[in-house]
Amino acid sequence: MFVPATLDIFNVKLLRLSVTEDQRNKIDWRKESYYRQLLHRVTDKDGVINGSELQYNIFPIESGEHFDVFISYSHNDEDEAYGLYQYLTDRGLHVFLDSTIWYSADKLQYEIDNQYSRLHPYTSLFDYEKTQLSSSHVHAMLSMAILEVIDRSELCIFLKSDQSLTLKDGIDNLTLSPWIYEELSYFTRVEVTTPPRFKNY
């Protein structure tokens, strides 16, 4: 990472208008079946999930791949974030926006628990210990992948809005995404590295 930045959501509100209905529908359609199909691909005949394959498929980042921009945002602001993503991408920048790659950790969690954590195949009740174990695995896997992407991004933008609250407000109101808190923590802890093109100056 070279530069961390905060961008107020009001500065990008109009960009959501540039996203076509077809583009929105395409994302929504993929979300519905994405994780179900993904788990099917990475699960062997004995029902065991290959963790390395799962992580690669969720974050298909090539070795040495770098990003011009990483966007951190609340999923309640997804339309604005996608508008910013589209605007920057249309101008030739390589942008990372999680909803264009892995969508939602909650959906992945649900599909894993739906397959492995049910108390009985025909019940909607889940085994608490199994869900906790799968949750810790999903969080560890995704947080390491996010850290890797932030480290490989030149500009890291936090899209600030009423939906992306401070930690105290989030705890008080039970509304803060732990992913936002984690990403902002990475912004302050990841070593700043100068892009090669600047090293001659």
- Give the pLDDT score at 162: 77
Around Cβ 109, how many Cβ atoms within 10 Å?
19
Contacts of 143 (CB under 8 A, 6+ apart): 182
Domain ranges of the chain: 3-191
pLDDT digits (tens, 9 = 90+) for 97-121: 988 877 667 778 888 888 889 998 8
Buried b (16+ CB within 10 A) or exposed e, 122-147: eeeebeeeebeebeeebeebbbebbb
Distance CA 3, CA 66 (A): 14
Distance CA 37, CA 41 (A): 6
Q: Which of 46-55, 73-82, 89-98 has the lowest mean pLDDT?
A: 46-55
Token readout for 31 is: 């979300």
Give the helix ranges, DSSP H, for the chain: 21-42, 51-58, 78-90, 105-116, 128-151, 167-173, 178-189
- Give the pLDDT score at 126: 93
The pLDDT confidence band at residue 129, using thresholds 50, 70 and 90, is very high
- Alpha-carbon separation of residue 108 from 111, 112, 163 (angstroms): 5, 6, 22
- Exposed, middle or buried: residue 78 (CB in 10 Å: 0-12, 13-18, 19+)? buried
Q: What pTM was estimated for this model as a whole?
A: 0.80
Contacts of 8 (CB under 8 A, 6+ apart): 160, 161
| Sign of the CA dihedral with 136 first, then 138, 139, and 142 last | positive
Distance CA 72, CA 59 (A): 16
